[in-house]
Amino acid sequence: MQRDVATPPGAGRRVVMLVDNAVDGDSRVQKAARSAADAGWHVTLLGCARVAAERRWRLGDAEVRVLPLDAPPVDTHGPPDAGAVAAGLRDAGVAGRGAAGGRRDADGETAGRHGAAGFRGGVRGLGGASSGLRGRLVARGGLPLRVARLARRPVEHAQVRYWRARLGDRAWRRLEPGLWDYERVAGPIIDELRPDLIHAHDFRMLGVAARTADRARARGRTVKLVWDAHEWLPGARPRRDNARWLPAHLGYVREYVGHVDAVVTVSDTLADLLVRDHDLPERPTVVLNAPVAEPAPTTAGVPAPDLRARCGLAADTPLLVYSGAMAVQRGVDTVVEALPRLPGVHLALVVADPAAAYVRQVVARAVRHGVADRVHVLPYVPHRQLVAFLATADVGLIPLHHWPNHEIALITKFFEYAHARLPIVVSDVRTMADTVRATGQGEVFRARDAADLARAVRAVLADPGRYRAAYDGPDSPLPTWTWESQADRLDALYRRLLTPTP
């Protein structure tokens, strides 16, 4: 996104971006904020996360603030806008009890006094009995945790049916009252910032943005709302192990999607799904999760690191790399199981937290397979240095399991590997597999099949130049797979929304 000197779009126009995480691990959000600020918009990026205290820093000209979700409740005697937020929390008699005054459940979310199990009658009694019995049996070792979780499912499904019948899409207020925490923490600050445009990343911040825009409009201010849909929510893996999570969040999105002025998303396939699901009046603007074309050679004066050097490997040692979030459905276990079939080949895992529980499980699996000495776990580097960091590997891995959201987009690491000029070995998830077959930039294997993954890796290592050639010449996809080209689309959308019409 380049600054237009002749027609600067900023001119005092303020953009507030919202995201439900701590920002530093979310490259799409960081790139969007920084490039918008570079183009002249006055950008404040607000993250909401479980942090001990508020954090502040700058991304280029953009201000970043990460707000602690455990902050004290809203001061209802404060400025009028803060009081309006508090009033919003009392919507339909639900009150802020579900956010600020409730108890915390085992998953760290807030459950209000009148939350998911709070309806009258036999189901409430069964819920309490089930929970108490489960706790006693698990504590005594008499019932595995998974069995205990299954035992509570009938109660949770009854809760979902009851509240959806009673409140419809508004049932999230009872099923997932912890969503109010984002409103309680971020709402007053957004009101104070008085934005001209709010850019809500992902689904949790959509309602926060919509209610803020409504409050501003009620006071005579025009505020435009952009929703950036990072994934297809009906196809998402629930982030909590209960039956309430998905129907609650689906209702939350349906309640507020009609408030938006424009939708942005990550792929053409997802754009089509959003039009279908929400009867959108116009097709979403597609902004790919592409990397910055010219990565920074240094960050804070520190040169970009070298992946191979960090692993302590010679230039002729075959090195595979997996970069990104770690979870069962992302298929890294399959890679570890393939390593015994790939003698001498090493694997680098570049992850947010090398000490995370699932990362430790993967390392333990490598020990069991006798390949632990060939697995290297490394922390993230700044996203603007990531392409240069990955470039000394031989193969980039995307071993995803089949899951609806895995089928419909080219994910961030796909573009990062491509700009690092790495051959890509990807499972047969639809969009990425089709792209790799069309461009010739890698090989496709059957998801969760370690033997077939090893076959694909051997094919690439036998002739890496053949696959790297896909990045050269006039047909190279790389010029369009850059954040700069994508950011221009975002800038154009902002301009259109904020340009007065007759």
Confidence class for position 69, pLDDT limits 50, 70, 90: very high
Query: Coil, strand or helix: which one is 47?
Result: strand
Residue 144: the pLDDT is 59
C-alpha dist (Å) from residue 163 to 47, 69, 167, 233, 277: 30, 26, 6, 20, 22
Q: Please state, in angstroms and rounded to a whole number, the distance separating the CA atoms of residues 191 and 154.
A: 41
- For 450-474, the pLDDT digits (tens) are 999 999 999 999 999 999 999 998 9
Q: Is the pTM of this model over 0.75?
A: yes
Q: Tens digits of per-residue pLDDT, 106-118?
A: 333 333 333 444 4
CA-based nearest residue to 134, from 245, 238, 242, 249? 242
Does 3.40.50.2000 match the CATH number of domain 14-85+179-286?
yes
Query: Does the fold of domain 298-480 match that of domain 14-85+179-286?
Result: yes
Q: Where does 25-121 have alpha helices with state H? A: 27-38, 80-89
Contact 237, 329 (CB under 8 A): yes
Q: What is the mean pLDDT of residues 89-104?
A: 38
Asked whether residue 448 carries a pLDDT value surpassing 60, the answer given is yes
- The CATH classification of domain 298-480, taken from the options 3.40.50.300, 3.40.50.2000, 3.40.190.10, 3.50.40.10: 3.40.50.2000
Residue 326 has pLDDT above 70, yes or no: yes
For 164-188, the pLDDT digits (tens) are 999 999 999 999 999 999 999 999 9
pLDDT(236) > 50: yes
pLDDT of residue 130: 40
Q: In this predicted model, what pLDDT tens digit does every residue of 125-151 receive, in sequence order?
A: 333 444 444 444 344 444 555 555 556
Confidence category of residue 241, pLDDT binned at 50, 70, 90? confident
pLDDT (tens digit per residue) in 197-233: 999 999 999 999 999 999 999 999 999 999 999 999 9
Q: Taking the domains of the chain in order of start, what are their residue ranges?
A: 14-85+179-286, 117-175, 298-480
Percent of the residues in the chain that have a pLDDT greater than 90, as a whole number: 73
At 299, the pLDDT band (50, 70, 90 cuts) reads low
**Average pLDDT of the chain to the nearest whole number:** 85
For 203, the token pair is 């689904």
What is the model's pLDDT at position 384? 83
Which residues, including other chains, have CB under 8 Å from residue 280's CB and lie 6 or more apart?
257, 263, 274
Helices in 40-144 by DSSP H: which ranges?
A: 80-89, 122-139
DSSP bridge pairs for 19: 47
Question: From CA 466, how far away is CA 461, in angstroms rounded?
Answer: 10
Q: What's the whole-number mean pLDDT along residues 475-481?
A: 93
Report the alpha-carbon angle 99-103-106, nearest 5.
Answer: 110
